[in-house]
Amino acid sequence: MTVGVVTQGQTAVVTLSEEASNNAFDAVSMAAISAELTRLMDDPDIRSIVITGSGRVFCAGADIQSFKYAIEDGSAADLVATLTGILHPLLVRMRGDPTVMVAAMNGAAAGGGLGLALACDVRIASTNARMASAFFRLGLSPDGGTTWLLPRLVGIQNTRRFLFEDQTWSAEEALDLGAVDEVVEADELIPRAIRIAMDWGRWSDQSKRSTKQLLDSQSSTFFETQLEFERMLITESSRSPDFVEGVESFLEKRDPIFYSSDESE
């Protein structure tokens, strides 16, 4: 799988493209995707990333042909462990990193590719987009964070039906359920995703990182615990140069100008 990267200001557009395997993951391509996204998240000049696919597919998850070969030589479990060992740390990094992640879903997202989309901060779908799990059809249980991420968007029972009934959601169905945030025409997808990425990415790294952590923790902690977590993070934020800039810009009646953590040091 090739990974194309184009930058517009402080936003990077990452395109996954390999028509022959429908943008599927194998160990090599998964490692390439992880390396490229990690490199961009490490880049202080990049404040937001748009992830998209090519043709009719956003990302179809694991390469089934690779599974067939692994079953034949007895290495299937090793392959699954390798793929999840690459994908899952990437998703953890995406969820906690201040870089805003936008999924521009041009087409079908399934399996681990669905997890990649769900791990983003916002999902913009073209009218051609589809969402499927495909795990049960393969005799597998879900991975890619699907069982943690999807219930937070659509509820536990909608997730249960999605998985157990092997459902495929159209873009409009996904929008109605809350799995995607917007549906646009195909020619509007990337421009709209870039605009959102630039808008969301402009805030301070401290605000973005802390908010991601707080939103992910809120459904699994008591209210008192969440309040203490909020207190800890907002106190930490108040020590940053971004807080100084925020207060000054507010009093001067202008938009704040925030820099990445590395740039402000």
Specify the CATH number for the domain of residue 137: 3.90.226.10
| Whether residue 128 sits in one domain with residue 188 | yes
Identify the pLDDT of residue 1. Answer: 56
pLDDT of 23 reads 63
Residue 2 is predicted with a pLDDT of 75
Residue 214 has pLDDT above 60, yes or no: yes
- Same domain (yes/no): 182, 259: no
Asked which of 184, 201, 218 is the last residue of a domain, the reply is 201
**Band of residue 220 on the pLDDT scale cut at 50, 70, 90:** confident
Query: Mind listing the pLDDT tens digit for each residue in 126-172?
Result: 999 999 998 998 899 999 999 999 999 999 999 999 999 999 999 99
CATH code of the domain covering residue 248: 1.10.12.10
> Would you tell me the crossing angle of helices 76-96 and 64-73 to the nearest 10 degrees?
140
Structural domain boundaries enclosing 213: 205-264
Cα–Cα dist 49/197, whole Å: 7
pLDDT tens figures, 60-90: 888 888 889 989 999 999 989 999 999 999 9
Q: How far apart are CA 76 and CA 234, in angstroms?
A: 46
Number of domains present in the structure of the chain: 2
Q: Tell me the percentage of the chain whose pLDDT exceeds 70.
A: 95
127 and 227 fall within a common domain: no
* Domain boundary pick from 150, 180, 201: 201
pLDDT band at residue 262, thresholds of 50, 70 and 90?
low
Q: Is 244 helix (H, G, I), strand (E, B) or coil?
A: helix
Burial 65-85 (b: 16+ CB within 10 A, else e): ebbeebeeeeeeeebeebbbe
Q: Do 217 and 191 fall into the same domain?
A: no
One domain, residues 172 and 239: no
The pLDDT of 214-232, averaged and rounded, is 89
Of 148, 141, 146, 96, nearest in space to 121 by CA: 96
Q: Rounded to whole angstroms, how far apart are CA atoms 30 and 20?
A: 16
- 12 and 34 co-located in one domain: yes
Answer for the pair 193, 124: CB distance below 8 angstroms, yes or no: yes
pLDDT at 21 over 80: no
pLDDT of 64 reads 84
Question: 84-94 pLDDT, tens per residue?
Answer: 999 999 999 99
Mean pLDDT rounded to a whole number for the chain:
92
Give the pLDDT mean for 202-208.
Answer: 94
183, 251: one domain: no
Residues 217 and 181 in one domain: no
SS3 percent helix, strand, coil of the chain, rounded to 5, is 55, 20, 25
Instruction: Name the band, by pLDDT with cuts 50, 70 and 90, for residue 40.
Output: very high
Residue type, 82: T
Domain boundary among 201, 223, 253: 201
Query: Do 112 and 228 belong together in one domain?
Result: no
Give the number of other CB atoms < 10 A from CB of residue 174. Answer: 24
pLDDT of residue 20: 46
Average of per-residue pLDDT across 23-33: 84
Radius of gyration for the chain, computed over Cα atoms and rounded to the nearest angstrom: 19
Mean pLDDT of 208-213: 95
Residue pair 146/115 in contact (Cβ under 8 Å)? The answer is yes
The answer to whether the beta carbons of residues 163 and 136 sit under 8 Å apart is yes
Residues 142 and 234 in one domain: no
The answer on pLDDT for 265 being more than 60 is no
- Whether 165 and 218 map to the same domain: the answer is no
Question: What angle (nearest 5°) sits at the alpha carbon of residue 110, between those of residues 61 and 42?
Answer: 60
Closest C-alpha among 47, 45, 22 to residue 113: 22
* Distance, CA of 201 to CA of 218 (rounded, Å): 22
Are 232 and 137 part of one and the same domain?
no
